Structure 1
Amino acid sequence: MMLASIALAAALVACGGSDDNDTPAQQPLALTIAHINDHHSNLDAFAAQTMKIGGVDTQVELGGFARVSQAFKAYEGRDDVLKLHAGDANTGTLYYTLFKGQADADLMNTICFDAMAAGNHEFDDGDAQFKSFIDHLHTGACQTPVLAANIKPQVGTPLAPKATDDYLKPYTIKTVKGVQVGIIGLTVKGKTQNSSSPLATTVFEDEAVAAQRTIDQLKGQGVKHIVLLTHIGYQDDKRLAAQLTDVDVIIGGDSHTLLGDFSHLGSGYAAAGAYPTQAVNKDGKPVCIGQAWEYSKAIGEMRVSFNDQGEVTACGGQAALVIGDSFKRQDAEGKWAAVDAATQQQIVAAVNADPSLKMLTADPGAAGVLKAYSGQVDELKKQTIGTATEALCLVRPRPHHQPQRRHARLRRRQQAGARQRHRPGGGAVLPQRQPARRHRHPERRRRARAGEGRPHHHG
């Protein structure tokens, strides 16, 4: 009987049916992940940002969502790319104040992300507002899935009208060059509950517990390539990697971390670690970690190679700052001025040779979407400035209507206090003392000489 059992087990293993260690081989995969995070409704570019280009201080226009959209256009037509957003699209500028995520969703739909992680700031105005943002994001063809494996809204609430995963999915599976890649979303638990406004009925699970459960679920479906799309912060990403089995890549957000080597650009571009940061998971196998700074200023591009067992064999890539093509430098008087044609060519050559910089014009489609919203923002600013000016005029203090003789008396007193005299017998020059007030009443004079206070009158 024992021999028969052993023979049966061997037959099952040979068929690939029961031994977890005997997983069928797949073709090797070379995957590119293009990603951003924490744009926080920063859709406009940042003007007059100083960095060293070719070793010289240079002013550039940094970021802008229309330029980020143009950066993603470089991946069109490729079947080896995942486009990811690691959360916190909302909150931070008038674009959110006025449009409550609609402007962000419309700009994001010019890119068509393969997945987005739910950020803590997506909950700033509650579950209903988050639902509204996702509805805008799902207007049109993109249908970007919003992921959070550790969030469970209560059925019947805005994010879960019929089921807990109506709006927030635990994962999505993408097929890249014939190979399935699982993308799992995670949202920072404590910060979201304590600093944002989710419903009390919305459950937030421990990030590591939810991640491992979902990894195991995907592994059970035969998915070997696992990407965590997290919004928990760079340091926590590194800690999380060590707690999990079978995780290959972590694309993160929340801590607004710049990774890579930007030291040559100046002290304002200090990075927190290497891009990608290479860690080790609980299996002792490599994990590649990336994040791409903040506010539509940068884009990350991670390149990951897998063997036929789905294990990471190498990872590399670059996070790059997105800049425009107009430049200023200081003239002989120290004033910032547009550069001449020859200097422009030198700067452009230096930028093109620097992998940490991407010089781009705005994507026309995204620029058109942004223009429609920015016009309304500009109009609000004008109205706000006008209202503020009126308010200042209304509360402007009235002039003091003092008689001219009172002003003259005050001036005489000031002049008298400024006069100086010599003490008898020489000595230091001292300010002239004001003459003591003369009291007409003898009793008051006596009290003044004695240092007594003014007599009180009762009744």
Structure 2
Amino acid sequence: MPASRFRSLSLLLLTITVVLLGCSAESARVPTPSSELKVLDFTVLHTNDNHGKFWRNRHGEMGMAARKTLIDRIRSEVEAEGGKVLLLSAGDINTGVPESDIQQAKPDFVGMNMIGYDAMTLGNHEFDNPLNVLLEQEKWANFPFLSANIYYKASEQLVFKPWLRKELDGVRIGILGLTTEDTQALVNSDYVSDILFMNAVDAARTWVPELKRDNKMDIVIALTHIGHYPNARHGENAPGDVTLAKEVDGIDIIVGGHSQNKLERPDIKNSTYILQAWEWGKYVGRADFKYYYMDNFDGKGHRKGVLKMVNYRLIPVNLKRPEIVNGRQVWVNIEKEIPEDQGVLDALKPYHDKAQDMLMKKVGSLDKALSGERNLVRSEPTAIGNLLASAQREKAGADLAVVNGGGIRTGLPAGEITEKDVLKVQPFGNMVCYVEMKGHELKRYIEDIASIQPVSGGFAQFANVKLTMNGDKLTRLDIGGKPVQKDKVYRLAINEFSAGGGDKWPVIDNNPTFVNTGYTDAVVLRGYIKKHSPLKASDYQPRKGDIVR
């Protein structure tokens, strides 16, 4: 070791020793104190927002079989050097891939069991199914579901375990689960009618001191699904990890999800390390820590220590980039390829194969691809939004239609469209509904939803509508090319999620004219594509000036 590095390390250890020895005179009363400086080496591995991606994609990227190989390698490496490993998921296992969705994410939990997760927190998409489905998933898992801010309304009892205690070489680590309170507005209201999502930051203010003071945890990890918003600027979203770190003392590490950020370095706020590993199992986050401590306690059983991160990186799981080789585009690994674990492949292949025959049936065709990128459908009028709204408008026999941008999960490819393509666009199984309003009522409603700011899942996509907003005020509304008449009755097609107040839209499913058609949005889209194929993308492209915000 170079002399300069040796001196730096010696100085660090001396500083830590002085800090720890000066902590509390009460420690002398403990019967068997030790003055020896100790260190725990431990590694936190983490993923988030899996969204049904249990199998590799068509380029051979991601998948739980390769993830298993990678994590096993890291475990072996860390444990061979005397360290310990925690493997955590920050939620949203459900929703996104038809092969998973139609099997209620069973293959994802089978894979997670085989990989050896220690815990997961509940994401909002865990509530895309009725609660009884989620409780069944909890039984499938060999690890606890954590959330300290979800309660039954009737009994005021927690629905899930709030936190988990782990001991690593005698060091006590508390892992606290937190779920975004926005879940109440992000899922079908019928599925969460019996439960209440409390403010996550407020919940942490209660639980973190309890973990530190009463349960004597040396290290507290918040395992969250509340989102990372730089500088705590969360906009219309509920407060996220940065707010949590700034406002709640005592959290050492936050392992997060929900906003699907690619944090290539930790965001450190209030001495708290905030981590997030993007989405879909594209990466496994690896954070290596050293915890320096004196193995003695004060009179109340508390121990003082210093936590230091020594290494952090996001490790790609067979991610590739396109390159041109001999005039052809090929996909090349950005890092050395990770072999897939054969045991995981054998366990998950039956689930993968089971869905293929149904999902690969042809529905129709499209001349040019329609993008469904998240940043587009939540920020501007899009062709895919117009297409989905048009399908629902036709099915409901409506004058106009609206869909929430957050319900559009991807686009449609050029060429043949399959059942799988349709289900990937609209995986939530929302029912298509309609409601009738007079022109003056419709104007107020459209004004409310059209004023929702970009980037929100509540950003509205329309069909058969032209409108102009001046700030939060609606100054023009045309339906079918004609100005709205205040006393004329109009029929609006809308999904049940939005009609029930999802994404903080006004509640209209209590209107006496409200009708649920009994058809899911994916079924309606499938029927529309079959009827109108071959589709032309140009027929759905928004025209400049039609929607002005």
**TM-score relative to the length of structure 2:** 0.53
Aligned residues of 1:117 and 1:187 also touching (Cα < 8 A): yes
The amino acid that maps onto 2:164 is T
Structure 1 stretches lacking a partner, 5+ long: 1-9, 49-60, 138-142, 157-162, 261-274, 281-285, 339-346, 352-356, 398-459
Deviation, 1:14, is 5.3
For residues 45-64 of structure 1, the aligned pairs below 5 Å read 45-48=56-59, 61-64=60-63
1:279 matches 2:281: no
- Runs of 4+ off more than 6 Å: 10-13, 386-397
> What per-residue deviation string (whole Å, max 9, x for no partner) do you get for residues 158-178 of structure 1?
xxxxx945x611000111122
Match of 1:319 in 2: 314
- SS of match in other structure, 1:74: helix
Choose from 20, 29, 35 the match for 1:15: 29
1:213 matches 2:206: yes
- SS of match in other structure, 1:35: strand
Match of 1:452 in 2: none
For residues 107-256 of structure 1, the aligned pairs below 5 Å read 107-137=111-141, 143-154=142-153, 164-165=157-158, 168-190=160-182, 192-197=183-188, 198-219=191-212, 220-235=214-229, 236-256=240-260
Cα separation, partners in 2 of 1:395 and 1:248, compared to 1, 3 Å:
closer
Deviation, 1:182, is 0.5
d(CA) in 2 for partners of 1:209 and 1:394?
A: 50
> What per-residue deviation string (whole Å, max 9, x for no partner) do you get for residues 292-329 of structure 1?
111121100011222212332334310121117x9874
Structure 2 stretches lacking a partner, 5+ long: 1-23, 230-239, 294-303, 365-416, 420-525, 534-549
The amino acid that maps onto 2:93 is A
Cα separation, partners in 2 of 1:123 and 1:368, compared to 1, 3 Å:
same
d(CA) in 2 for partners of 1:237 and 1:279?
A: 9
Aligned residues of 1:330 and 1:336 also touching (Cα < 8 A): yes
The amino acid that maps onto 2:137 is F
d(CA) in 2 for partners of 1:127 and 1:300?
A: 30
Cα separation, partners in 2 of 1:331 and 1:76, compared to 1, 3 Å:
closer
For residues 58-457 of structure 1, the aligned pairs below 5 Å read 61-76=60-75, 78=79, 80-137=84-141, 143-154=142-153, 164-165=157-158, 168-190=160-182, 192-197=183-188, 198-219=191-212, 220-235=214-229, 236-260=240-264, 275-280=265-270, 286-308=271-293, 309-323=304-318, 329-332=323-326, 334-337=327-330, 357=335, 359-383=337-361
Aligned residues of 1:184 and 1:228 also touching (Cα < 8 A): yes
d(CA) in 1 for partners of 2:67 and 2:27?
A: 49
Deviation, 1:385, is 5.2
- SS of match in other structure, 1:30: strand
- SS of match in other structure, 2:115: coil
d(CA) in 2 for partners of 1:64 and 1:106?
A: 13
- SS of match in other structure, 1:181: strand
- SS of match in other structure, 1:66: helix
The amino acid that maps onto 1:277 is D
Aligned pair count? 323
d(CA) in 2 for partners of 1:363 and 1:323?
A: 13
Deviation, 1:225, is 0.4
Aligned residues of 1:32 and 1:302 also touching (Cα < 8 A): yes
Match of 1:35 in 2: 46
> What per-residue deviation string (whole Å, max 9, x for no partner) do you get for residues 212-240 of structure 1?
22111211121120000000011221221
Percent identity, please. Answer: 27
- SS of match in other structure, 1:361: coil
Aligned residues of 2:92 and 2:126 also touching (Cα < 8 A): yes
